[in-house]
Amino acid sequence: MSELPTPSLRLVYRLRAELAPPLDLGDTPNGHRRVIAYSGGRFDGPELSGELIPGGGADWQIVRPSGSAVADIRYTLRTTSGALLLVSSTGVRHGPPEVLARLGRGEGVSPDEYTFRTQASIETSDPDLSWLNDGVFVAVGARQPNGVAYDVYIVE
């Protein structure tokens, strides 16, 4: 068998999302559940850019007893050409308990103090962006006091 190729990453876009105040559902049978709506934002990348559609997404989150947050994220983007992109993402944010506590209080925390990674898929009906439908994507996230940022990469 020949050697398998080593994957590489190529930046697709950076999303800067504004967040609504969290809805805290409390302790459910699956864990401590929170829903955090995406209230707006922008994305920019080498090949596409546009806006995050307000009300078009949220993070349905489970906070573990350790303070780690398991993310189930869906949001809708509109490119500057009018194409709609549906992004579905899952992942985890984890780190030292004292850092996660600061994040939980809404404090600014440097992204190098914790780990926030997701995997994503992107759907679109736009023929010019059909390559997104077949991509495998990973993202690096950072929680900010009033929002969140993601650098989304395609795995090549």
State in Å, rounded, how far the first CA of the chain is from the last one. Answer: 21
Provide the pLDDT for residue 149: 96
The answer as to whether 2 is a domain residue is: no
Instruction: Provide the whole-model pTM.
Output: 0.93
What integer best gives the mean pLDDT of the chain?
95
Provide the pLDDT for residue 155: 98
Given a cut of 80, whether residue 130 has pLDDT beyond it is yes
The answer as to whether 113 is a domain residue is: yes
Provide the pLDDT for residue 107: 86
CB neighbours (10 Å) of residue 82?
8
Task: Tally the domains of the chain.
Answer: 1
The answer as to whether 61 is a domain residue is: yes
Provide the pLDDT for residue 67: 87
Q: What is the residue range of 73's domain?
A: 9-155
Kindly report, residue by residue over 41-98, the tens digit of the pLDDT: 999 999 999 999 999 999 999 999 888 999 999 999 999 999 999 999 999 999 999 9
The answer as to whether 4 is a domain residue is: no
CATH number at residue 86: 2.40.160.20
Sign, CA dihedral 117-121-124-127, equals: positive
